[in-house]
């Protein structure tokens, strides 16, 4: 199944909401530091409610640590960005994909985007709206990947 990777998330409630989505879908969640909050942050915990025990959570202090610690798990890096080459709906996901999302204010760093197998975007109808909330973007991307893979059964 795809795994969700948050690179330098800054807002605790967003990460808490994403953790809850990952718990509901049994999707591993990787947090790549530095983070804009402490893992023990009360807003993070509150957003995840009482689902934290069900989150397959992995913390990596840096991108370098993430790469080193996940090398034994091959898979494509799929970046999500407003500058994506194709719609997330047009892309064909694989079970071993890593779905990468950047921080709320700046997105994925350029060197991470360059390292991705591909970069996809979530289409938006209104040209004045730059992006969606991070937790919404993760849910949209993850559920599309899981839908394509036939992996949404209860």
DSSP string for 22-65:
HHHHT--EEEESSPSS-TT-HHHHHHTGGGGGG--EEEESSHHH
How many domains is the chain built from? 1
| Domain of 48, in residue numbers | 3-148
30-67 pLDDT per residue, tens: 999 999 888 876 766 765 567 888 999 999 999 999 99
Does residue 75 belong to any structural domain of this protein?
A: yes
CA–chain centroid gap for 118, Å, is 15
77-95 pLDDT per residue, tens: 999 999 999 999 999 999 9
* Bigger pLDDT: 150 vs 52: 150
Does residue 153 belong to any structural domain of this protein?
A: no
pLDDT range class, residue 135, cuts 50, 70, 90? very high
Q: Comparing C-alpha atoms, which of 32, 17, 20, 16 is closest to residue 99?
A: 32
How many alpha carbons lie under 13 Å from residue 107 in its C-beta half-sphere?
Answer: 17
The domain that holds 143 is classified in CATH as 3.40.1280.10
Please give the model's pTM, rounded to 2 decimal places: 0.93
Does residue 92 belong to any structural domain of this protein?
A: yes
Does residue 112 belong to any structural domain of this protein?
A: yes
85-100 burial: b if 16+ Cβ within 10 Å, else e: eeebeebebeeebbbb
Does residue 154 belong to any structural domain of this protein?
A: no
Does residue 107 belong to any structural domain of this protein?
A: yes
């Amino acid at each position: 199944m795809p795994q969700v990777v948050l690179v330098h998330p800054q807002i605790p409630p967003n990460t808490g909401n994403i953790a809850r989505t990952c718990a509901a879908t049994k999707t591993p969640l990787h947090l790549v530091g530095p983070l804009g909050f402490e893992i023990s942050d009360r807003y993070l915990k509150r957003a995840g409610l009482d689902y934290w025990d069900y989150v397959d959570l992995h913390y990596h202090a840096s991108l370098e640590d993430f790469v080193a610690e996940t090398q034994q798990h091959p898979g494509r890096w799929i970046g999500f960005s407003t500058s994506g080459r194709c719609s997330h709906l047009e892309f064909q996901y694989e079970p071993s994909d890593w779905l990468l999302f950047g921080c709320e204010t700046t997105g994925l760093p350029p060197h991470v985007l360059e390292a991705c197998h591909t970069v996809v975007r979530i289409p938006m109808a209104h040209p004045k709206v730059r992006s969606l909330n991070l937790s919404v973007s993760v849910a949209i991307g993850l559920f599309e990947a899981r839908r394509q893979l036939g992996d949404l059964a209860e």
